[in-house]
Amino acid sequence: MANPAILTVDDDPAVSRAVARDVRRRYGDRYRVVRAESGDSALDALREIKLRGEQVAVMLADYRMPHMNGIQFLEQAMEFFPLARRVLLTAYADTDAAIDAINLVDLDHYLLKPWNPPEEKLYPVVDALLDAWLATPDTAVPETRVIGNRWSAPSFAVRDFLARNLVPYRWLLTDDPEAARLLAAAGLSEADVPVVVTPDGKSLVKPTEADLAAHVGLSTTPASEFYDVAVVGAGPAGLGAAVYGASEGLRTVLVEQRATGGQAGQSSRIENYLGFPNGVSGAQLTDRARRQALRFGAELLTTREVIGLEGGGTTTRLLRFGDGTAIAAHTVVLATGVSYRRLDAPGLDELTGRGVFYGSAATEAPGCTDQEIYIVGGANSAGQAAVYFSHYARRVHILVRGDDLNRSMSRYLIDQIKEIPNIEVHPHTAVVRGEGAEHLERLTLCDSRTGTTRTVETSWLFVFIGAEPRTDWLDDVIARDQHGFVITGPDLLAEGRRPAGWTLPRDPYHLESSMPGVFAAGDVRADSVKRVASAVGEGAMAVSLIHRYLEAQ
């Protein structure tokens, strides 16, 4: 982080240089001296410092400047750095104005010019001001800051993307004084949010995910045009394939449309994963796997949508991206996972991201403090979310269509939920309507046994239902079942016959799809076990089969 700044502003170039010289001589080893020759240029400097998340300790401004005098400058400068100490440089004839400024801009001191020798007239004053500033410093640090509205779907999308990609950020509502200062520094207004201010001071207005990825250090451009294995999807299966592929010397690229981790990455606590007796969050597990893959030399591309797969010959497979570019590889691992199914009830679609969320949306947990929240779903992901949100919410309501949670939730989670007093399970209950203006305000629930409905007041609904494979882009390319899951291995052998278009003299390997050299792993594969451990195992197994495939070519 850069040293805190001491800003000097004087319109007389000779005086400006003299002030900066004297200040730098004494404080240059601990502070960065910034010199300006007008109020406007000084404000520009402050805006840049503010956007970079750096600090200003002291500002020294000459009173007599054209267009904007020192008092006017300091008054505006307070909007950016209210804790910086303020000094007015003035001639004897202007002491009355300086005294008035003590009340107007909370002036800390005024200095009469000239101040020679500085050891007697300048340095003691600045020393005292720096000591005072160090006692109550500006807490600004270089970081990614997100400014937005509480009930805004675009604002939520930005925060969710950063959180799921493990990018630390600070969330500021538009009515926060710090948000107002940052918007002013960037020359923006509340109408421009969401705004992301990057650690290097750039302001991104309503950024796309690709914009965010590029500015927070995520790789979006492939380093090569050809790989041994291209993995599509960075959930547990894709990360497992990337770790094992790269560790075994294969040129490996991992392509992800949104964020590493998939649905597992959103889990607040995974307690049945081998080797973690105290449990591990999805984010922690994802981060460790991602760093492990990168350490072995795998390449990770984020915000790249794969829209097509082609067989480019007997030993080449081509992946086409949404922007028209493509990469080639000897083999491909399909690990695109599944998405939560949309809840089909009037009023919910338009409230998505504004009280209605698909997945755990852990970024919203602090906002649920002392609130009533509703969770739809009876599988492990819903149970993990309920336990997590119970630490914040006044009450967590789990809505399930069946009799209880036994059908689809692990016993350890069911037992936990029974022991948490502020979690309540509602069997035979479905959401049939959502209502609200700026955000979700109420839900209509229906008891499937009696058909009776009731309305509940809430601003929070989290949905964990069904599983839809992300395979639409594989139409007419890869064999899939009626639900869209990729069919692999022996399941492709209908009545002992190999799949149409199969060109090899052998049967498909266990995880191999109907296109030779293209494998499927994890939840996207038909009849797979929907567990994190099995997904990781299939990712590793796919690499073993890839070796067999490559050796036979």
Does the pLDDT of residue 63 top 70, yes or no?
A: yes
Domain final residue, candidates 135, 166, 190: 135
Does 221 reside within a domain? no
> Of the candidates 194, 215, 236, which is a domain's last residue?
215
DSSP state, residue 3? P
Structure tokens at 407: 């059908």
343 is a domain residue: no
Instruction: Convert the pLDDT of each residue in 388-406 to its tens digit.
Output: 899 899 999 999 999 999 9
Is the same domain home to 95 and 21? yes
Half-sphere exposure of 443 (CA within 13 A, CB side): 24
Is 298's pLDDT higher than 80? yes
Q: What token pair was written down for 501?
A: 């278009």
- The answer to whether residues 457 and 477 belong to one domain is no
3-state SS of 92-156?
HHHHHHHHHHHHHCCCCEEEECCCCCHHHHCHHHHHHHHHHHHHCCCCCCCCEEEEECCCCHHHH
- φ/ψ of 219, rounded to 5, equals -80, 135
Q: Is residue 220 part of a domain?
A: no
The residue among 425, 422, 405, 424 whose CA lies nearest residue 414 is 405
Quick count: other Cβ atoms within 10 Å of Cβ 500?
Answer: 9
Q: Identify whether residues 473 and 330 lie together within a single domain.
A: yes
Q: In which band, very low, low, confident or very high, does the pLDDT at 96 lie, cut at 50, 70 and 90?
A: low
Task: Give the CA distances from residue 88 to residues 34, 50, 106, 110, 118, in Å, rounded to whole numbers and listed in that order.
Answer: 16, 21, 11, 5, 16
Q: Is residue 379 part of a domain?
A: yes
Asked whether residue 458 falls in the same domain as residue 480, the answer is: no
pLDDT surpasses 90 at 377: yes
Mean pLDDT over each residue of the chain, to the nearest integer:
89
Radius of gyration of the chain (CA): 30
440: helix, coil or strand? Answer: coil
Domain housing 458 = 349-463
| Residue 7: HSE in the Cβ half-sphere, 13 Å Cα cutoff | 33
In a domain, 344, yes or no: no
Q: Are 9 and 62 in contact (CB under 8 A)?
A: yes
3-state DSSP call for residue 442? strand
**Residue whose token pair is 């795998």:** 298
Q: What is the pTM of this model?
A: 0.74
For residue 505, the SS3 value is: coil
Give the CB-side neighbour count of residue 405, counting CA atoms within 13 A. 28
| Residue the block writes with tokens 């000097």 | 8
282 or 317: whose pLDDT is higher?
Answer: 317
Do 293 and 395 sit in the same domain of this protein? no
pLDDT the model gives residue 101: 62
Q: How does pLDDT run across 147-186, given as a tens digit for each residue?
A: 999 899 999 999 888 888 878 788 999 999 889 989 998 9
Total of domains in the chain: 4
Which one of 71, 103, 135 terminates a domain? 135
Sheet holding 109-112, edge to edge: 32-36, 5-9, 56-62, 85-90, 109-112
Q: Are residues 310 and 379 in the same domain?
A: no
The CA distance from 144 to 214, in Å, is 13
Phi-psi region of 438 (alpha: psi -120 to 50; beta: other; left: phi over 0): alpha
Kindly report, residue by residue over 225-265, the tens digit of the pLDDT: 999 999 999 999 999 999 999 999 999 999 999 888 887 77
pLDDT in tens, 504-532: 999 999 999 999 999 999 999 999 988 89
